[in-house]
Amino acid sequence: MKRVVVTGMGGLCSLGSDWKTVRDALLAGRNGTKVMPGWEHMAGLKTCLGAPVPDFELPESWPRKKARSMGRDSAMAVRATEIALEGAGLLGSPELSDGTTGVSYGSTAGSPGALDTWAESFYQKNSLSGIGANQYVRFMSHTCAANLAQFFQLRGRVIPTCSACTSGSQGIGYGYEAIKYGHHDIMVAGGAEELGLMDVAVFDILFAASTRNDQPDQTPRPFDVARDGLVCSEGAATFILEEREHALARGATIHAEVLGFATNCDGRHITNPDAGGMEKVMRLGLESAALAPEAIGYVNAHGTATEVGDIAESQATAEVFGKGVPVSSLKGFLGHALGACGSLEAWLSIEMMRDGWFAPNRGLEEVDPRCAELDYIRDEPRKLETQILMSNNFAFGGINTSLIFGRDV
């Protein structure tokens, strides 16, 4: 088995597009939730809240032929990957295009903006007029992975991990496994999501979206008794995963080691989470890393601020770790970036571990008594030196993931 390290990380989220900017926002306690202009026209939609990536436009320097097939989600994925590859010292490397490097990347679906354009013509106008050759490839399920491969000329395997809110964490996990089992030396891994009204509506229909429309700075509130649901956001985060000896041989900076990964399925209900399945995936993650629960110094929770999700996750976490492990969710700050959340949260968790502090559960004033007792980080960032953390994510379909990262490599 090969050891797998992280040699590059890059991300875009509602709080910024580099660690320093995001760190300052986390330390200042800011969130990215905004009242979204134009959403009020949708009949029946109760929420008007979203957390977009501010000021992101398709870079003009990108060649037209490489950019034409991208929706906003793919474009963010590519930008995050440019940052990550540059940090890893691999931008422009021949190893990207000689088969050494593969890609493992996902989003909930393809670009909702591109799908809207297609659907409007197709179903409202009953016409193909105006639908160009690039419309479909912008919203096909594997658009992020495919665009990454085209843009960077990656010629290894392409693993699209389109599993809603575990797209990003499965991206990292399957990328890790591709290296661990010797298929590749380098994997571009992660997830992306484009904020679209269609995704928001999905949660709104299920009464799972926050409707504190007049208090965007007060929501979402994971684990809080007064939470009222999630806030959809967007972004992308890319990990450059590398076989450890390969990274050491080229003198790469190593940010962390991927110590373990597990994914499983509840196999029970299409939307309702199951604490048993969540507990199982955490135990499988520990088993894959050959670690006991006591080795984990911090758990980054999925913590979406939905009632059923928070309760089940807290119970599962307490079953595995007891009540002593420090836990926080970043969604009170970032919103729920769906297909991007797994890799965004893993990125920020590693950065916090390297800095020796962890962000609190923003908005958590009084823990819902139905949530299990845990060491929820509250109010202020907590100084905490730890060498190993776990990052968990859960998705529609009962899909669960658990990633374990180590600082000491």
The first and second tokens of residue 75, run together, are: 């474009």
What are the CA-CA distances from residue 291 to residues 97, 241, 253, 261, 383 (Å)?
A: 36, 21, 25, 12, 23
First to last CA, the chain: 16
**Which of 131, 158, 248, 308 touches other proteins (CB under 8 A)?**
131
Q: Tell me, what amino acid is at 47? A: T
Does 129 interact with other proteins (rule: CB under 8 A)?
yes
Instruction: Please report, as residue ranges, which positions from 88 to 117 form the binding site for other proteins (by CB under 8 A).
Output: none
Does 126 interact with other proteins (rule: CB under 8 A)?
no
Among residues 59 and 267, whose Cβ is nearest to other proteins? 59
Among residues 147 and 400, whose Cβ is nearest to other proteins? 147
Q: Which residue has tokens 């009949």? A: 43
Element containing residue 35 per DSSP (H, E): strand 34-35
Catalytic residue among 162, 255, 336, 371: 336
Does 253 interact with other proteins (rule: CB under 8 A)?
no
Catalytic residue among 48, 144, 165, 371: 165
- Residues 391/165, Cβ–Cβ less than 8 Å: no
Neighbours of 158 (CB within 10 A): 16
Among residues 150 and 264, whose Cβ is nearest to other proteins? 150
User: 47-76 mask for other proteins (x: CB under 8 A)?
Assistant: -----------------xx--x--------
Does 124 interact with other proteins (rule: CB under 8 A)?
no
User: 6-45 mask for other proteins (x: CB under 8 A)?
Assistant: ----------------------------------------
Q: How far is residue 384's CA from residue 101's CA, in Å, rounded to a whole number?
A: 35
Among residues 55 and 60, whose Cβ is nearest to other proteins? 60
Does 378 interact with other proteins (rule: CB under 8 A)?
no
Minimum CB distance to other proteins, residue 147 (Å): 14
Q: How far is residue 81's CA from residue 91's CA, in Å, rounded to a whole number?
A: 9
**Which of 54, 59, 99, 132 touches other proteins (CB under 8 A)?**
132
Does 130 interact with other proteins (rule: CB under 8 A)?
yes
What are the CA-CA distances from residue 117 to residues 125, 300, 342 (Å)?
A: 11, 37, 28
Q: Is the peptide bond before 220 cis (omega within 30 degrees of 0)?
A: yes
Minimum CB distance to other proteins, residue 136 (Å): 11
Catalytic residue among 162, 184, 302, 371: 302
Q: How far is residue 161's CA from residue 71's CA, in Å, rounded to a whole number?
A: 17
Minimum CB distance to other proteins, residue 133 (Å): 4
The first and second tokens of residue 264, run together, are: 């499983």
Among residues 20 and 64, whose Cβ is nearest to other proteins? 64
Q: How far is residue 198's CA from residue 200's CA, in Å, rounded to a whole number?
A: 5
Minimum CB distance to other proteins, residue 64 (Å): 5
Among residues 64 and 383, whose Cβ is nearest to other proteins? 64
Minimum CB distance to other proteins, residue 61 (Å): 12
- Residues 140/110, Cβ–Cβ less than 8 Å: yes
Angle at which helix 112-119 crosses helix 197-205, to 10 degrees, equals: 90
Minimum CB distance to other proteins, residue 150 (Å): 12
Angle at which helix 143-152 crosses helix 72-88, to 10 degrees, equals: 50
Q: Is 302 a catalytic residue?
A: yes
**Which of 21, 27, 99, 134 touches other proteins (CB under 8 A)?**
134
Q: How far is residue 85's CA from residue 268's CA, in Å, rounded to a whole number?
A: 39
The first and second tokens of residue 297, run together, are: 């110094």
Among residues 132 and 182, whose Cβ is nearest to other proteins? 132
Q: Which residues are catalytic?
A: 165, 302, 336
Residues that bind other proteins (CB under 8 A): 64-65, 68, 129-134
